[in-house]
Amino acid sequence: MKIVIIGGTGVIGSVVCQTLKKRGDEILLISRNAESAKSKKILADNYFTWDYKSIEKLIPKINGFEALINLSGTPIAGKRWNKKYMEEIRNSRVNTTSLLTDAICKCNKKPNVFISASAAGYYGNRGEIILTEDSSAGNDFLSNVCVEWENASEKVTDENVRLVLIRTGIVLTKKGGAFKKMLLPFKLFLGGPLGNGKQWFPWIHIYDEVNAIVFALENIKINGPLNLTAPTSIRMNNFSKALGKVLRRPSFFKVPKFVLRIAVGKIADNLVLSQRVYPQKLIDNEFQFQYDTIDKALEDLVK
């Protein structure tokens, strides 16, 4: 396939590019700095620098491609949250997706499928409720961002473009993100659960994440929201115990919410949410998880 990827230099995007290139797809990688993407050795056939502000130069570049994958967005935990950074988190998702949607709609030869990132944060703090793709949105900052983010892409469906909105959980990978930050306290013998530890922790191994994106790319039955989480739910307490076990480190040093707030600010509230997210559509469409249990995933990552 001929595929456009936006956000391909990130933790997930770089593995998506690598996976698609290995299977023989033609990749156009769009980023704010094409030369930087090349220097990072992100696998692609062509690179294009886009300012993420206007679509005039973008339209002829993406015209005729069969698929577009949008993984762009400022990292949620990239900095301490303040009003300015929270606005950057929102704009990098909502505004960018809105521009991409407009560009797709104005192409003479539109893609068959538009896969656009969202997050499990869509659901907010939901306690014990099992959350499928049909569940309603939450009502906190990240939930509201996700709702706007998803709505920004809806217009492509009027152009007969299949739209898939990937609501991703916490992606476990040593290359970056939350998991890499979690490893350090455990290695220092200070590991343990965040908050009270009873909350549900929506996780997925990086290779299941990427393979699910490729699965959605190929499977025309999949459209709309798609939960990208492992099929086995786990509480934060049990996740910490499993991580401590595979690292051969203690896992009983709980980090209370008020301590998290002092350390990282407003984002602390989102680090202790309870989200029991279930990948109903992936299961219904017989997607095969390679790492369906936390023990398999952690053994692979730590090994």
Q: pLDDT confidence of 263, banded at 50, 70, 90?
A: low
* Backbone φ, ψ for residue 150 (5° rounding): -70, -40
3-state SS of 126-164 is: CCCCEECCCCCCCCCHHHHHHHHHHHCCHHHHHHCCEEE
- pLDDT value at residue 260: 59
- pLDDT value at residue 176: 79
Q: Give 2-173+203-230's CATH code, choosing from 3.40.50.720, 3.40.50.12280, 3.40.50.80, 3.40.720.10.
A: 3.40.50.720
Average the pLDDT over each of 58-67, 269-278, 292-301 and give the range with the smallest value: 269-278
pLDDT at 262 over 60: no
- Region 27-39: mean pLDDT is 90
pLDDT digits (tens, 9 = 90+) for 144-198: 999 999 999 999 999 999 999 999 999 999 887 778 777 878 887 778 888 889 9
- pLDDT value at residue 77: 76
pLDDT at 230 over 80: yes
- pLDDT value at residue 195: 84
- pLDDT value at residue 191: 82
Token duo for residue 138? 């939450």
In whole angstroms, give the CA distance from residue 143 to residue 150. 11
For the chain, first and last CA: distance in Å? Answer: 34
Burial of 35: CB neighbours in 10 Å, binned 0-12, 13-18, 19+: exposed
pLDDT digits (tens, 9 = 90+) for 39-89: 888 889 999 999 999 999 999 999 999 999 999 999 887 788 889 999 999
- pLDDT value at residue 257: 63
Instruction: Note the maximum CA span of the chain.
Output: 59
Cβ proximity of 116 and 98 under 8 Å: no
* Backbone φ, ψ for residue 133 (5° rounding): -60, -20
Residue with tokens 């069969």: 66
Cβ proximity of 49 and 26 under 8 Å: no
Domain ranges of the chain: 2-173+203-230
Average pLDDT, the chain: 92
Reduce the DSSP state of residue 2 to 3 states and report it. Answer: strand
Cβ proximity of 11 and 177 under 8 Å: yes
Reduce the DSSP state of residue 47 to 3 states and report it. Answer: strand
Whose CA is closest to 86, among 71, 98, 97, 76? 76
In whole angstroms, give the CA distance from residue 195 to residue 199. 8
- Amino acid, res. 218: E
Whose CA is closest to 117, among 73, 62, 59? 73
